Structure formats: C-alpha cells, structure tokens
Amino acid sequence: MGSRVRDFGVRSPYDKVGGLFYFGRMLDKIRSHCKGELPLEYEVNLGKGFDEKCATFLRVRYELVVEYVNQGLNEEAILESCFGMGRRPSEGEIYMWNEFMRKRGWNDELSEALESQKKKKPCFPGRRSRQCFNSLMPMKGAW
C-alpha cells in the first residue's frame, strides 16, 4: 500500500492547507479518483471516515468539495469556498481539529479497529503507532 499511495500522489495527512490537517489529502484523493488513479481500497471509503469528518467540520457537504475540485479550483480557492458556503473556523477551532485528527485512534472508539488492522497486516503502515494518522503514512523502508 505504501508505494501505491505515493504513486497516485496523495500527500500526508499532516500536510496543512490553510492551517488544517488532512484537507489537502482529501483533495488529492478526489483528484486521483477523477483521473481513475485511486486504488479500489480507497474508492470504497471516499466521502466517509476522515473525509466526512473534514467536510462536517467545515459544515459543507462532501459532494460540494468534489464539485469544487472538478471545477479545477486550486486548494486555497476550494478552502475559501468551503469557508464561504459553510463556516470559517477560528484559530482555536483549527487547533482543536488538528489535535483531534492527529490523535484519532488513540484511546477512542477507533482504537479497537486500528489494533485489529495492525494484527491482520504485518506491513500495516504506522504499525507501532496508536494514531490513525500514522497508519495513513507509508512505513519508512517499506518500499
């Protein structure tokens, strides 16, 4: 999975757009899907999970974000459009979002599912981590 993630151009969830974790990754996945380059295991979760959480945080529909991407807007313009259609979070809210996302899977309702994935896949990215974000990162030396 690690090299495939890199191959279809999806950035790290830690890369920020407008100060927000994950937003850029969501846009990359949408773009890759539109080009037919998104692996099937990602397609089944488009608009769900972290994608859904991100859209909900911005108070926009995920489908609206997809429309903005399909219109060819750059990531800053898409984010500004989301702020205009949904809401513009404060600096404190962005901090809370980033910390929530960064620690997702650590002592919360996703912990069990994350541990289960680690047991099923010996090469699971972020195997030694307790956070979901690290599972989205390719393992160093894995490819």
Task: Please give the pLDDT value at position 131.
Answer: 45
Average pLDDT for 120-130: 52
**Per-residue pLDDT tens for 63-117?**
999 999 999 999 999 999 999 999 999 999 999 999 988 876 654 555 465 555 5
Question: Among residues of the chain, what percentage have pLDDT more than 90?
Answer: 51
**Per-residue pLDDT tens for 88-100?**
999 999 999 999 8
User: Which of the four pLDDT bands, split at 50, 70 and 90, describes residue 26?
Assistant: very high
**Per-residue pLDDT tens for 49-60?**
899 999 999 999
Any idea where the domains of the chain sit in the sequence? Answer: 2-89, 104-138
21, 79 Cβ separation under 8 angstroms: no
- Which tokens belong to 123? 């090469």
Task: Please give the pLDDT value at position 140.
Answer: 36
Residue whose entry in the numeric block shows the structure tokens 């692996």: 39
The dihedral through the CA atoms of 5, 97, 93, 85 has a sign that is positive
Terminal CA-CA length for the chain: 9
Task: Please give the pLDDT value at position 120.
Answer: 62
Task: Please give the pLDDT value at position 115.
Answer: 57
Q: Is the pTM of this model over 0.95?
A: no
